[in-house]
Amino acid sequence: MRHFRALAAVLAAWTIALPAQPASAPRPTYSNPILYADYSDPDVIRVGETYYMVASSFHFSPGIPVLRSRDLVHWTIAGHVLPKLPFAPQYDMPGPHTLTDKISKPIGGTRYASGVWAPSIRHHDGRFYVYWATPDEGVFMSTSVRVEGPWTAPVAVIAKAGLEDPCPFWDEDGQAWLILGKVGAGPLILHRMSADGRRVLDDGIVVAEDKIALPVLEGPKLYKRNGFYYIFAPIGGVEKGPQAVGRARTITGPFEWRVVLEPGATAVQGPHQGGWVETPSGQGWFAHFNSSGAFGRIVHLQPVRWIDDWPVIGDRIPGKTAGQPVLTHAMPDTGHRPTRDRLQDSDDFSGRRLGLQWSWNHNPDDRNWSLAARRGFLRLHPLPADHLVTARNTLTQILQGPQSRITARLDVSHLAQGQRAGLSLFGVRPSWIGIVATRGGERRITLAIEGEESEGPVVTAATVDLRAEVRSDQTVRYSYSLDAGRSFKPFGAPIPLARFSWWKGSRPALFAYSRGVAPVAKRGWVDVDWVRVEPVS
């Protein structure tokens, strides 16, 4: 007993000596947008403790980026579903071309604004499935065990033009379904689908169409929760529309609809089209886009609460069934601390493959670019074109806002007469700064705005640094350095960025093309040493 009392006294002393436990620390917060970058039409899922996002990519190749996150706020690019766009010859931009750097259409000989529209991603039976439509060719799917790939070659689920925004759903009884829309926004059509997801089994039934209450109905995502089937779908158009949800006890309807997210008193005027996901702890979240002009459709994240088996997204608006977007909020309870994951951007071209941040404008001509011709450099051989928008092998990445500085170092010593190479903010009626090899054998710094070129100084050195500074007012200011980056000289005044370019925002781009075909003996090239992307506060 004496030993027991002694031990108790020691334990009591230890207890008194222990510091008081702090109250639960507040959760860290995040701010919207979570991705100030044009990942339009996002769809999100969770597999285990990891989150995956896909987005529309239109005429850019490779197609359908797949992003990965552990905390739902910070993301990195994991891969692409489509190595190239195989759907039609126009994705190789064969011409004849009617498009110029002064106009946005007609787009003859190309597939601008076509390609991948609003994909959906699901995980079923140990595999990832991605579905998408191209407005000219049909509805397609691809599948993979890993998001990094390899992905299967695209399968035509419906070989028919004029369809958009497909989303698959596997019910608890194993029956597969496919919901989609028609180009022009509505109606929503539901098909039975084969269990392997490769083909539809019927002509489909209309499950939603109401041009008054549900105008511009598109982008459906199909879910099931607590015995209800839900269709999440945006209405009202890209720039001003809210998010609606339909609910029914059976998958074929009838569906009862209500608005669950609208602009409210916020500056986010088009908070819609995205994907709903739950964390392991049961928290609900909705990732959606908001149109932002030249930066494209950037990604926001909203909390989701369920009230009487209806979702309310964002901060609930008093007296309404809908919420409004949050600008800041406590981080999602994912079980992970906030990460430092970020979208890839800068590149020194030292790898054997292009970084995942890069996409070509349409399909590239692989015979005329290389990472192996000169190790540590990207080599571009200029191909004949009258305009930048019809030039092949223009390499782009998504612009990150609200302010950034993009700098590229180019070895231009091998450019031949008539050839141009440089750095662009690419889109409708593009601008660029670059080097033009003139008839007299000179190489001159040149600024181009909507195809109109202004000559600058002669470049006598082999290398030149080109810079584009993008500002939050959606303008770009170009400059150049002829002394290895020690000093930069502005060229021209700030230039407005293209506000919206064939469904995409403006994009930093490296290019090389030739006006007139250079003699074979003088087949030129440009070597890009590196590209650096820096946020600007």
Active site residues: 41, 218
Distance, in Å, from the CA atom of 123 to the CA atom of 132, rounded to the nearest integer, reads 15
Q: What are phi and psi of 188, to 5 degrees?
A: -95, 135
Which amino acid is it at 294?
Answer: A
For residue 525, give the 3-state DSSP assignment. Answer: coil
Long-range pairs of 438-444 with CB within 8 A, sequence gap ≥ 24: 441/417, 443/412, 443/415
Contact 216, 236 (CB under 8 A): yes
By CB atoms closer than 10 A (0-12, 13-18, 19+), residue 337 is exposed
How far apart are the C-alpha atoms of 207 and 187, rounded to whole Å?
8
- DSSP tag of 401: -
441 DSSP 8-state letter? S
- The DSSP bridge partners found for residue 535 are 404
- Gap between the terminal Cα atoms of the chain: 69
CA pseudo-torsion sign 314, 320, 321, 322: negative
Q: What is the identity of the amino acid at 131? A: Y
SS (H, E, C) 443-471: EEEEEEECCEEEEEEECCCCEEEEEEEEC
Residue type present at position 106: P
